[in-house]
Amino acid sequence: MFYKVEIQDHIRVPPALLNEPLDKAVLTQLRDKFEGYISRDFGNVIDVSEILEIGEGVIIPGDGAPYYKTKFVLLSFKPELQEVVQGRIKDMADFGAFINMGPMDGMIHISQTMDDFVSFSKEKVLTGRDSHRTLKVGDECRARIIAISFKDISNPKIGVTMRQQGLGKLEWIKEDLEKGAPAAPKKEEKKETKKKK
């Protein structure tokens, strides 16, 4: 899920940026510090969306750069358990598939790709034995997040499933909806029935 997070921090503006307007120099430093930053609390920081307030600068002895107390807003993507996400299959392996969910990737174990016995081919395609459904790189899918691990902050692990109703390759979802929807009687048939009574 995407969040806007309000943060306050002291931002160091190096002497090389002192000739720039203050808001531009602070924004440059904020982006250098926070874009791509990953943490358990914020998730994956995508951008510094706005600066709300820049306080007075303070110079620390021995450092020629001023520090500004700054209040700003970060835009971040933080995956949540049970969240339904949509993405594109990025890569395939014999143990499953990797789905790109925007700022982060998730892993779909082969047992969680479809409700069928699944085999992996040399062409990097997962195929269901009974359903004959296939999953390959580039397919648009809908999945649910079932596991999140920030044990390695630089490379968080996100596990997803596509085995629940309303999940899977978008074509499969459309097929299931068409099969499961009862055919509604046409208006003309209703009129004929009334006339016969």
pLDDT of 182: 52
Query: Is 197's pLDDT higher than 50?
Result: no
Task: Please check whether residue 137 is in contact with residue 92, taking contact to mean a CB–CB distance below 8 angstroms.
Answer: yes
Query: Which CATH architecture does the domain made up of 84-180 adopt?
Result: Beta Barrel (2.40)
pTM, 2 dp: 0.74
pLDDT (tens digit, 9 = 90+) per residue, 100-109?
998 899 999 9
pLDDT in the model for residue 184:
45
CATH 3.30.1490.120 fits 2-77, yes or no: yes
In the chain, where are the structural domains located? 2-77, 84-180
> Is the pLDDT reported for residue 64 higher than 50?
yes
pLDDT confidence band for 183 (50 / 70 / 90):
very low
What is the average per-residue pLDDT within 8-30? Answer: 93
